Amino acid sequence: MPARRPGGHLSATSVIVVSRKLNLPRDRQGAEVAETAVTEVLAELAALEDPKVRAVNEKHGDDHGVNLGKLRAIAKQLKTQQELARELWATGDSAARLLATLICRPKAFERDELDAMLREARTPKVQDWLVNYVVKKSPHAEELRLAWFADPDPVVAAAGWALTTERVAKKPAGLDLAGLLDIIEAEMKDAAPRLQWAMNSCLAQIGIDHAEHRARALDIGERLEVLKDYPTPPNCTSPYAPIWINEMVRRRG
């Protein structure tokens, strides 16, 4: 049997060893291995639970106590395992879902599957990692961007704006940047917090990357004053759009 860590939990490396040693029929092997690995990975995540980490996370709306550096280390050991990722996501456990976004194969998810995953994701960190590590790499990203952009659920709409910000930065051709600024100007001030954050990020990205719209982006930010008083740690850039835009433009010279 694989060596166990103190406390009786298998290491992530041992999970892989256990899975590989199972002697299963070929047509059932994938499902059986995933089921076994899920049990052991959940035990590993439970062993990493830290009350102090949980207390900090809960202040931001998250409901797990696993250090993200340690979670990434498990992901690095497990590598890409799509079926295991699906099984971990299905548990509903936030730490397991975060791990799933790191070991999955983004292009393997169907469009409707990703839509359902976003709508059932309950916490900000899971939502963010799902969008950034999975949806942005999916062939369905643009279709989902358009579907989510004006969704009545502000969390879903925030994901649409996050994907729009990605396009502003990397593939702006075809986007109506002036139209986006119109929407931001009219709606950002009173938007729900997560949607407001996503719209503000888009505002800043437009101002940073597109000089022809920079003056208007700065003006909108200055008049709306969204996140103007956001507490910002030393050596970090404020999310207040005028400061953010000016600082990034300065760095680019």
Q: Which one is predicted more confidently, 7 or 201? A: 201
Using a 10 angstrom Cβ sphere, with 0-12 exposed, 13-18 middle and 19 or more buried, the burial of residue 119 is middle
N- to C-terminal Cα separation, the chain: 59
The rounded mean pLDDT for the chain is: 88
C-beta atoms surrounding 20 within 10 Å = 8
Whole-number pLDDT of residue 36: 56
Whole-number pLDDT of residue 196: 98
pLDDT, average across residues 3-31: 38
Q: Where are the domains of the chain?
A: 10-123, 139-252
27 alpha carbon, distance to own chain's centre = 34
Whole-number pLDDT of residue 33: 52
Contact 148/160 with Cβ under 8 angstroms? yes
Amino acid letter, residue 218: L
What is the helix (H) or strand (E) element at residue 200, kind and residue range? helix 193-209
Q: Is the pLDDT of residue 5 over 50?
A: no
Q: Is the pLDDT of residue 20 over 60?
A: no
Whole-number pLDDT of residue 29: 45
What's the Rg (C-alpha) of the chain? Answer: 21
* Cα dihedral sign, 54-59-63-64: negative
